[in-house]
């Protein structure tokens, strides 16, 4: 693929408008290492087949599929049958979580009778007509700057641009109708990828693991869909092609890293300077000529070398404690890359057990903080330089990252007394930091009340 404009290794802030917040005094520098430091063995590398991701395996693979996984998926449709008395898993928590997913669900189900699950197994369809007339763009750097401003005004929190790299496209999509692989076509003219990040609500994530925290995931996806469609429509109105994709079509993480949105962490997530790992990604494939951003470093790799907060807190033991390796836990990991790799089977089996997704590895990560406040900016400054041990010590001795009871999230502890809309719930840290296995321990006698 051609790499016009700035090229790999350039400062993503140089094209302007990339970052949605003002620049923090963090040492963000270009990552000039080949492949941003990843070791990819061409003799062993194989593109990942989406059929093998653990969600799809829970449809076709008896090793993964169980009553618990079926109940997990069903709870997104019929929350009133699955709620429990445990804090964070009550009727209101599920009611909010599923309401948050509603926007993304509508698009996912829109064309299910055509064997399309848009946003998850297939790209989103831009429903409005596009312009037949192409607006000529002579300067890819200018086009990228404009697109980033457009993306921000349409609701994107982070935007970066990189080149289409077929290694990160799924070798196949999963067809639910065929219960097997189907082609994953990509027009080679779509040489550029716009990667969009949406910050998730920290006050919800602070309650993880809980169904309530799952609302942050749902809000992220539902907002992502709207923002991706709007940016794509803008590109199409200029007479270019745009294919908006959420979880479908390609792996988000390598693209987000290549587009300079953050660094890859031990928890298997992209850690951004603005929101830490508390962010969701979508990507738009386009032929609009755009200058590319390049990968950045701000000390995450070094921090992950001395911090194991995610490994220690993960309730399923899915996050590695050692150095990056090319070991696959099972067929749900891509082959031939030396990296920190999470055991997706273990992670998902925990979700099935608690009947919601989990975000403990986001909550406990020291980069998940309010990057707008001065103490947090100071923390980032320390963490990105040679004082990172001090930053880690500070984080461990603060209440940040501790689990907040869902009861404290709801106004008046979730009573039915009407409350004024617009007041944000306080974050109160009461429980110990490494309490992630306590989802069911809070009320061991919790039972389903119906169903």
Kindly list the residues in this chain that would bind ligand SF4 in the complex (CB under 6 A). 265-267, 303-304, 307-310, 314-316, 318-319, 342, 347, 350, 358, 360-361, 364-367
C-beta of residue 277 within 8 angstroms of C-beta of residue 367: yes
What, of ligand B12, ligand SF4, none, does residue 365 touch, CB below 5 to 8 Å by kind? ligand SF4
Nearer of residues 316 and 333 to ligand SF4, judged by Cβ: 316
C-beta of residue 202 within 8 angstroms of C-beta of residue 277: no
What, of ligand SF4, ligand B12, none, does residue 308 touch, CB below 5 to 8 Å by kind? ligand SF4
Nearer of residues 258 and 369 to ligand SF4, judged by Cβ: 369
Nearer of residues 316 and 384 to ligand SF4, judged by Cβ: 316
Segment lying near ligand B12 (by CB under 6 A), choices 137-145, 185-193, 288-296, 343-351: 343-351
Asked if 105 touches ligand B12 (CB under 6 A), the answer is no
What, of ligand B12, ligand SF4, none, does residue 406 touch, CB below 5 to 8 Å by kind? none
The distance of closest approach from Cβ of residue 317 to ligand B12 in the complex, given in angstroms and rounded to an integer, is 12
Segment lying near ligand B12 (by CB under 6 A), choices 99-107, 131-139, 261-269, 390-398: 261-269
Asked if 217 touches ligand B12 (CB under 6 A), the answer is yes
Nearer of residues 248 and 395 to ligand B12, judged by Cβ: 248
Asked if 379 touches ligand B12 (CB under 6 A), the answer is no
What, of ligand B12, ligand SF4, none, does residue 251 touch, CB below 5 to 8 Å by kind? ligand B12
359, 368, 384, 436: which one contacts ligand B12 (CB under 6 A)? 359
Asked if 19 touches ligand B12 (CB under 6 A), the answer is no
Asked if 194 touches ligand B12 (CB under 6 A), the answer is no
The distance of closest approach from Cβ of residue 158 to ligand SF4 in the complex, given in angstroms and rounded to an integer, is 18
Nearer of residues 86 and 251 to ligand B12, judged by Cβ: 251
The distance of closest approach from Cβ of residue 416 to ligand B12 in the complex, given in angstroms and rounded to an integer, is 28
Nearer of residues 196 and 318 to ligand SF4, judged by Cβ: 318
Nearer of residues 158 and 169 to ligand SF4, judged by Cβ: 158
145, 222, 267, 405: which one contacts ligand B12 (CB under 6 A)? 267
193, 279, 380, 407: which one contacts ligand B12 (CB under 6 A)? 279
State the Cα–Cα distance between residues 246 and 228, nearest whole angstrom.
Answer: 8
State the Cα–Cα distance between residues 150 and 206, nearest whole angstrom.
Answer: 31
* Residue 97, both tokens: 């979580």
State the Cα–Cα distance between residues 422 and 32, nearest whole angstrom.
Answer: 45
ω into residue 209 within 30 of 0, thus cis?
Answer: yes
Size of the site for ligand B12 (CB under 6 A): 36
The distance of closest approach from Cβ of residue 329 to ligand B12 in the complex, given in angstroms and rounded to an integer, is 8
12, 244, 344, 401: which one contacts ligand B12 (CB under 6 A)? 344
Nearer of residues 144 and 380 to ligand SF4, judged by Cβ: 380
The closest alpha carbon to 338, from 360, 314, 320, belongs to 320
Asked if 212 touches ligand B12 (CB under 6 A), the answer is no
What, of ligand B12, ligand SF4, none, does residue 202 touch, CB below 5 to 8 Å by kind? none
The distance of closest approach from Cβ of residue 380 to ligand SF4 in the complex, given in angstroms and rounded to an integer, is 12
192-199 and 173-175 as β-strands: parallel, antiparallel, unpaired? unpaired
> What is the chain's Cα-based Rg?
21
Binding positions for ligand B12, rule: CB under 6 A = 38, 48, 53-55, 217, 246-247, 251-254, 264, 267-270, 277, 279-281, 319, 332-334, 337, 339, 341-342, 344, 347-348, 357, 359, 361-362
């Amino acid at each position: 693929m051609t790499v016009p404009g700035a090229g790999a290794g350039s400062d993503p802030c140089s094209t302007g408008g990339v970052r949605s917040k003002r620049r923090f005094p963090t040492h963000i520098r270009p990552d000039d290492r080949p492949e941003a430091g990843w070791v990819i063995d061409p003799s062993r590398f194989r593109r990942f087949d989406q059929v093998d991701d653990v969600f799809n395996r829970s449809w076709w693979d008896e090793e993964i599929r169980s009553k618990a996984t079926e109940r997990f998926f069903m709870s997104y449709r019929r929350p009133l049958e699955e709620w429990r008395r445990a804090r964070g898993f009550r009727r209101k928590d599920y009611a909010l979580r599923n309401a948050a997913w509603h926007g993304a669900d509508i698009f996912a189900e829109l064309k299910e009778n055509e064997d399309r699950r848009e946003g998850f197994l297939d790209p989103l369809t831009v429903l409005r007509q596009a312009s037949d007339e192409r607006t000529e763009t002579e300067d890819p750097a200018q086009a990228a700057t404009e697109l980033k401003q457009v993306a921000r005004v349409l609701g994107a929190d982070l935007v970066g641009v990189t080149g289409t790299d077929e290694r990160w496209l799924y070798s196949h999509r999963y067809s639910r109708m065929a219960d097997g692989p189907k082609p994953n076509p990509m027009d080679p003219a779509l040489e550029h990828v716009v990667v969009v990040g949406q910050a998730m609500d920290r006050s919800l994530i602070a309650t993880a693991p809980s169904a309530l925290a799952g609302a942050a995931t749902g809000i992220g996806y539902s907002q992502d869909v709207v923002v991706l469609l709007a940016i794509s429509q803008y590109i199409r109105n200029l007479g270019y092609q745009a294919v908006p994709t959420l979880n479908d079509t390609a792996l988000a993480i390598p693209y987000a890293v290549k587009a300079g949105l953050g660094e890859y962490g031990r928890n298997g997530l992209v850690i951004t300077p603005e929101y830490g790992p508390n962010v969701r990604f979508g990507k738009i494939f386009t032929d609009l000529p755009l200058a590319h951003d390049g990968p950045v470093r701000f000390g995450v790799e070094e921090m992950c070398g001395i911090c194991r907060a995610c490994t220690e807190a993960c309730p399923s033991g899915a996050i590695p404690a050692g150095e990056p390796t090319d070991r696959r836990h099972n067929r749900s990991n891509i082959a031939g890359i030396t990296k920190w790799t999470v055991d997706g089977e273990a992670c998902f089996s925990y979700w099935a057990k608690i009947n919601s997704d989990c975000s403990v590895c986001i909550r406990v990560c020291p980069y998940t903080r309010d990057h707008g406040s001065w103490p947090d900016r100071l923390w980032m400054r320390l963490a990105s330089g040679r004082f990172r041990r001090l930053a880690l010590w500070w984080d461990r001795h603060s209440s940040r990252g501790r689990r907040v009871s869902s009861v404290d999230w709801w106004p008046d502890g979730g009573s039915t007394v009407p409350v004024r809309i617009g007041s944000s719930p306080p974050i109160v840290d009461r429980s110990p930091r490494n309490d992630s296995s306590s989802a069911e321990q809070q009320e061991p006698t919790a039972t389903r009340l119906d169903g």
